[in-house]
């Protein structure tokens, strides 16, 4: 399992052709207290870079973009009741959706841990 990052602070944890997507710890720190998460619909086809979800915080609303092309296969319904999970555990309980990845080669354009750390330094 590998994790890749976008310049817009999404992560995708890849296991085979399945990706789990959310926002990074850095992103949730910048946003502050998250009060609402608008999740995509299961079955939605997305292209890399498409707006897929929205996160609203006490500071701002922020779009979440697809880190790869594919189909949304599940959403984290717990965020509907408790959007603060994104603040508490962005890479764990705060994940947003899973997807089947159509073009795994697209992941090669994303950053690894070291590149993302440099991007946010």
Q: Is 9 inside any structural domain?
A: yes
Q: Label residue 9 exposed, middle or buried (CB < 10 Å: 0-12, 13-18, 19+).
A: buried
Q: Is 50 inside any structural domain?
A: yes
Q: Is 85 inside any structural domain?
A: yes
Q: What is the pLDDT of residue 115?
A: 98
Tally of domains in the chain: 1
Taking only the tens of pLDDT, the chain with its 121 residues reads 899 999 999 999 999 999 999 999 999 999 999 999 999 999 999 999 999 999 999 999 999 999 999 999 999 999 999 999 999 999 999 999 999 999 999 999 999 999 999 999 9
Q: Is 113 inside any structural domain?
A: no
DSSP label of 106: G
Q: Is 121 inside any structural domain?
A: no
Q: Is 120 inside any structural domain?
A: no
Q: At residue 87, what are phi and psi to the nearest 5 degrees?
A: -70, -40
Residue 64 structural domain: 2-104
pTM recorded for the entire structure: 0.96
2-5/10-15 β-pairing? antiparallel
């Amino acid at each position: 399992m590998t994790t890749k990052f976008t310049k817009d602070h999404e992560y995708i944890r890849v296991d085979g052709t399945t990706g789990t997507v959310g926002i990074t710890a850095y992103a949730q720190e910048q946003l502050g207290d998250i009060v609402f998460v608008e999740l995509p619909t299961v079955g939605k086809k997305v292209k890399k870079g498409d707006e897929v979800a929205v996160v609203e915080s006490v500071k701002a609303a922020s779009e979440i973009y697809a880190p790869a092309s594919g189909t949304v296969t599940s959403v984290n319904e717990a965020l509907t009741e408790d959007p603060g999970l994104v603040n508490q555990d962005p890479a764990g309980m705060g994940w947003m959706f899973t997807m089947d990845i159509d073009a795994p080669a697209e992941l090669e354009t994303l950053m690894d841990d070291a590149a993302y750390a440099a991007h946010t330094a």
